[in-house]
Chain A
Amino acid sequence: MIDKSILEIQKDLADKKYSYLELVNQQLALIRQSSTNSVIHIEDNIIEKVKEAEKNVNSEAFGMTILHKDNIAVKDQPLTCSSKMLQNFISPYNATLVQKLEDEGAICLGKTNLDEFGMGSSTSFTIHNRAKNPWDKTKTPGGSSGGSAAAIAEGLASVATGTDTGGSIRQPASFCGISGLKPTYGTVSRYGVVAYASSLDQAGPMAKHVSDVALAYNIIATKDSNDSKMAHAKDITQKILQDDIKGKTIGVAIEWIESLQNPHLKNYYKEAIKTYKELGAYVKNIQITNLEAALPCYYVISAAEAASNLARFDGMRYGYRSSKENKDIYKANRSESFGNEVKRRILLGNFVLSSGSENKYYQKARKVRALIQENYLSILKNVDAILAPATTGTAFEPGTQSVIEAYENDKFTVGVNLSGLPSLALPIGFDDGMPIGMQLIGKHMSDNLLLNLGHAFQKRTTWHKVSPVTL
Chain B
Amino acid sequence: MVAMEKKSVFKIAELAKIEIDSREEKKFEDDLSDILVWCEKLMSIETPERNTNFTPNPYIEPNLRKDESVKNPSLESSYKKNGYFITDKVIK
- Give the size category of B's interface with A: 35 or more
A365 at the interface (CB under 8 A from B): yes
- Against A, the Cβ 8 Å flags (1 = close, 0 = not) of B1-37 are 0000000110111011111100010001001101110
The reply to whether A290 and B12 contact each other, CB–CB distance below 8 Å, is no
- Against B, the Cβ 8 Å flags (1 = close, 0 = not) of A293-327 are 10111011000000100000010111001000000
How many Å lie between the Cα of A338 and that of B16 in the bound state? Answer: 12
The reply to whether A290 and B45 contact each other, CB–CB distance below 8 Å, is yes
How many Å lie between the Cα of A58 and that of B24 in the bound state? Answer: 57
The reply to whether A444 and B58 contact each other, CB–CB distance below 8 Å, is yes
**Residue in contact with B39 in the complex, picked from A361, A373, A419, CB distance below 8 Å:** A361
The reply to whether A343 and B18 contact each other, CB–CB distance below 8 Å, is yes
**A interface: dominant SS:** helix
Contacting residues, chain A, for B36 (C-beta < 8 A): 351, 361
**Residue in contact with A344 in the complex, picked from B28, B55, B60, B87, CB distance below 8 Å:** B28
Count A-B contacts at CB 8 Å: 155
- Give the size category of A's interface with B: 35 or more
The reply to whether A185 and B42 contact each other, CB–CB distance below 8 Å, is no
In B53-92, the 8 Å CB interface with A consists of: 54-65, 73, 75-77, 79, 85, 87-88, 90
A329 at the interface (CB under 8 A from B): yes
The reply to whether B63 and A230 contact each other, CB–CB distance below 8 Å, is yes
Contacting residues, chain B, for A229 (C-beta < 8 A): 60, 63
Q: Which of chain A's residues has its CB closest to B42's CB? A: A296
Q: A186-B56, A361-B42 are in contact. Are A307 and B16 (CB under 8 A)?
A: yes
The reply to whether B18 and A317 contact each other, CB–CB distance below 8 Å, is no
Contacting residues, chain A, for B77 (C-beta < 8 A): 317-318
Contacting residues, chain B, for A299 (C-beta < 8 A): 35, 38-39
The reply to whether A296 and B41 contact each other, CB–CB distance below 8 Å, is yes
- Known A293-B42, A317-B79, A351-B36; further 6 A-B contacts with Cβ < 8 A: A185-B57, A199-B56, A232-B59, A343-B18, A347-B28, A354-B11
Q: Can you name 18 A-B residue pairings with CB atoms under 8 Å?
A: A185-B56, A200-B56, A230-B61, A231-B59, A293-B41, A299-B35, A316-B85, A317-B79, A321-B79, A329-B88, A329-B90, A330-B90, A334-B18, A348-B35, A367-B47, A371-B47, A404-B38, A444-B58
Q: Which 3 A-B pairs have the closest CB atoms?
A: A420-B56, A367-B47, A335-B19
